[in-house]
């Protein structure tokens, strides 16, 4: 079909690009192949849109900046009701859901997203919380969360790595489901 397949081993990302666009991108760089591939991975990741559900402005700002500088588009909301509104209005590749929120808890949001047919049942939801007991993890996974990241166990860079891992995992699962 004339498309080139590019696999970025470092990030575990593969994508296909038209030769015209590949030549255009390559013509803009005099640097190493590594810098070119890093740029291409940023283009790929820029297509991923994340809903960050975090009511603490300090934490929200740290993770929003970290994700945006890594090429993600990020929308931050601070309440459970805002999550439900945004999910109806926009498409997200991932929802990072805190459990402790004003108006309605993250658990209530998760329950609503998974049980109300008004919402896309294929939403990818990873709980991102300070509440990280085994009981908390078990409860949200039973309610339909696709994963769990503890804020207290990971640095922002490690959280980014976990998010990228989840996105790769979800992409593989979607690809396998269609085959």
DSSP single-letter state for residue 5? E
Query: Which residue has 């998010």 as its token pair?
Result: 163
DSSP single-letter state for residue 133? -
Q: For the segment 80-93, what is each residue's pLDDT rounded down to a tens digit? A: 999 999 999 999 99
Q: Tokens standing for 7?
A: 């696999």
Please give the mean pLDDT across all residues of the chain.
82
Chain centroid to CA 40: how far? 18
Burial (Cβ within 10 Å: 0-12, 13-18, ≥19) of residue 9:
exposed
Chain centroid to CA 34: how far? 24
Mean pLDDT of 35-42: 54
- pTM across the whole model: 0.74
Query: Which residue has 């993890």 as its token pair?
Result: 137
Mean pLDDT of 114-143: 92
Give the model's pLDDT for residue 177: 81
> Could you give the CA distance from residue 66 to residue 79 in angstroms, rounded to a whole number?
21
């Amino acid at each position: 079909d004339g498309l080139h397949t590019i696999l970025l081993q470092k990030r575990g990302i593969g994508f296909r690009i038209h030769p015209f666009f590949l030549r255009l991108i390559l013509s803009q760089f005099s640097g190493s192949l590594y810098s070119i591939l890093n740029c291409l991975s940023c283009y790929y990741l820029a297509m991923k849109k994340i809903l960050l559900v975090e009511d603490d402005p300090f934490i929200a700002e740290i993770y929003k900046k970290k994700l945006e500088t890594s090429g993600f588009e990020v929308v931050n909301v601070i309440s459970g009701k805002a999550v439900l509104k945004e999910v109806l209005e926009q498409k997200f590749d991932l929802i990072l859901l805190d459990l402790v929120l004003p108006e309605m808890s993250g658990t209530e949001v998760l329950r609503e997203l998974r049980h109300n047919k008004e919402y896309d049942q294929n939403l990818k939801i990873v709980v991102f919380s300070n509440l990280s007991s085994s009981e908390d993890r078990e409860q949200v996974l039973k309610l339909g969360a696709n994963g769990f990241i503890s804020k207290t166990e990971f640095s922002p860079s490690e959280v980014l790595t976990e998010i990228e891992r989840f996105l790769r995992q979800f992409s593989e699962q979607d690809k396998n489901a269609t085959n």
